[in-house]
Amino acid sequence: MNKFTLTISSPDGIIYQDEVQGISLRGAEGDLAVLSGHVPFITSIKPGECKVIMADDSEKIAYVDGGLLTVSNDTVNLLAGSFEWKDNK
C-alpha cells in the first residue's frame, strides 16, 4: 500500500514523524480514515481513539484529546492537545 508522511505534534513537541499507511480517528462528523492520495482536507477531531497503520502493516492505537487534522499532498499533520500511545510497543 502507498505511504504518506504523518506528523503528530503536541505543544511539547513532535511526538511522531514517519511514513505510515493510514490513520483513522474520530472527526467532527464521525469516524474517518486517511490513506495515501487523500484530497486536501482540514477537520477538527474529537477526543477518542486513534489507529495508525504503520509502514510494516502493524497497527498502533493511541488516545487523542481532540485537535486539528490537516491533509495536503500526502503529508498529514495531526495537532493534538495531548497524544498517548496505548502501550509502549
Q: Is 68 in the site for other proteins (CB under 8 A)?
A: yes
| Nearer to other proteins among residue 12 and residue 57 (C-beta) | 12
Q: Is 9 in the site for other proteins (CB under 8 A)?
A: yes
**Positions 33 through 62 that interact with other proteins (CB under 8 A):** 39-44
Q: For residues 34 and 59, give the distance between their C-alpha atoms in angstroms, rounded to a whole number.
A: 14
Cβ-proximal residues to 77 (8 Å cutoff; 6+ apart), any chain: 7, 9, 68, 69, 70, 71
Q: Is 12 in the site for other proteins (CB under 8 A)?
A: yes
| Nearer to other proteins among residue 58 and residue 72 (C-beta) | 72
